[in-house]
Amino acid sequence: MSRPVVEQRRLLHRGREFHFVSYEGLPANAKRNQAATLPAWWLMSAGTRWEVMPFERGPDARALDRAFTAWLDTHAFEPRA
């Protein structure tokens, strides 16, 4: 079985560059008491990653950029007045 390809997307927003990476889901691990995870997009920054949204094949680049921009405005920036 082949491994899924990791997708990456860079986005310039409010004068900063953001790096998003897709990760495949992981099966549950009963020995470590870890639940299964679904494939997701993650924001990478300063050696840390934050889960952004579920990963789905198919959305075009503009749709992804809009979704990432909305997430950044909600989670990374204070609301504009």
Tell me, yes or no, whether 68 lies in a domain: yes
Question: Given a cut of 70, is residue 2 above it in pLDDT?
Answer: no
Tell me, yes or no, whether 3 lies in a domain: no
What is the torsional sign of CA 34, 38, 74, 77?
positive
Q: Which of 57, 22, 18 is nearest to 37 (CA)?
A: 22
Tell me, yes or no, whether 43 lies in a domain: yes
Quick one: pLDDT at residue 3? 61
Domain count, the chain: 1
Task: Give me the mean pLDDT over the 24-48 stretch.
Answer: 93
Dump pLDDT digits (tens) for 41-60. 999 999 999 999 999 887 78
Question: Would you tell me how many other CB atoms lie within 10 Å of the CB of residue 20?
Answer: 23
Domain that holds residue 14: 8-75
Tell me, yes or no, whether 81 lies in a domain: no
Give pTM, 2 decimals.
0.82
C-alpha–C-alpha distance, residues 55 and 45, integer Å: 19
Tell me, yes or no, whether 80 lies in a domain: no
Tell me, yes or no, whether 41 lies in a domain: yes
Tell me, yes or no, whether 66 lies in a domain: yes
